[in-house]
Amino acid sequence: MRLKDIGEFGLIKRFQGKIKTDSSVVRGSGDDCAVLKLDKNNYQLFTCDMIIAGTDFKSTDDPALVGRKALAVSISDICACGGTPKYAVVSLGLSPNMLVTRVDRLAKGMFELAKKYRINIVGGDISSADKLIIDVSMLGVVEKDKLCLRSGAKPGDIIMVTGSLGSSIKGKHLKFEPRLKEARFLVNNFKINSMIDVSDGLLQDLGHILEQSSSGAVIYEKLIPLSREARGVDDALSSGEEFELLFTASRDQASRIINSSKYRFTPIGEIMPKAFGLRTINAEACTGRSFKTGYQHF
């Protein structure tokens, strides 16, 4: 049996079954961040992300955008749990033949975003590699009563997203803005039952919420906010690295969120009982159809 036979998430489940944690861990593997005990009022959030040339960006991409992305994807994980990013360590795999000026631009993109979000880069590691690899580990903090996980969705919840979807193929994955303001606005003013960032595709990431929440869902395709660059609804359903927030809230809370009008929040579906499964309804009102589920590494 090879990795391609079990897939990325099959491999993760093999690891999860062997991981043991102590009482200091509130939530371990299986969410956007690990959640750790911190103090009376707050939890510590801990996440890591790796990006690799040829998989997550092209070798010809602007290094400043690549460095920016490396930090932004971890910020997005912290956002998805309702928290605020605080500290990061960065490990780099660099080719000995890489121009120093390109490394400088890589650092520039990363340092500028760190300054914008008031993140302290406090260390890291450097090693030789055949191609550029960047690994970021990040710590954040969230108030205990504002923590959002994937496991809190309830039948009747309205499914909502920030921004628009379907443009990662046109370069959004390098230039996206982590939805920190939107996430903090949501958790500070409303009861959000579950949340995740769209990194592997709308349907696939919604599937993570449904699995953790033991629920089903229906998505109304005509309600999905498409970006101008999207070639159609399939791009919105399955393209990864959108880094918008996908979240659920009760009907009452969802109504309040929509009427708040401070940011763009769009309702696109509803959480259903688990037996319902995950279905989409298209313009002809037909339930279910074939689609790519989202990105997987294997």
pLDDT recorded at residue 290: 40
Note whether residue 5 is domain-resident: no
Residue at a domain's end among 97, 120, 145 = 145
pLDDT recorded at residue 287: 52
- Statement to judge: residues 111 and 180 lie in one domain: no
Phi, psi of 175 (to 5 degrees): -120, 5
Please write the tens of the pLDDT for every residue from 53-110. Answer: 999 999 999 999 999 999 999 999 999 999 999 999 999 999 999 999 999 999 999 9
CA distance linking residue 229 with residue 221, whole number of Å? 17
Copy the structure tokens of residue 181. 């303001």
Note whether residue 15 is domain-resident: no
Closest alpha carbon to 154 in 70, 30, 274, 7: 274
Q: Count the domains in the chain.
A: 2
pLDDT recorded at residue 293: 54
Where the chain has pLDDT below 70, the residues are 8-9, 12, 169, 283-298
pLDDT recorded at residue 288: 54
| CATH number, position 250 | 3.90.650.10
- Which amino acid makes up residue 224? I
pLDDT recorded at residue 292: 45
Q: Distance between terminal CA atoms of the chain?
A: 13
Parallel, antiparallel, or unpaired: how do β-strands 215-220 and 278-281 relate? parallel
Closest alpha carbon to 192 in 180, 205, 181, 183: 183
pLDDT recorded at residue 197: 97
CA distance linking residue 122 with residue 60, whole number of Å? 28
Please write the tens of the pLDDT for every residue from 257-284. Answer: 999 878 999 999 999 999 999 999 986 6
The parent domain of residue 94 ranges over: 23-145
pLDDT recorded at residue 174: 94
Copy the structure tokens of residue 84. 């605020």
Q: Which residues contact 283 (CB under 8 A, 6 or more apart)?
A: 221, 222
Copy the structure tokens of residue 230. 């999207």
pLDDT recorded at residue 15: 72
| CATH number, position 49 | 3.30.1330.10
DSSP H or E segment with residue 48: strand 42-52
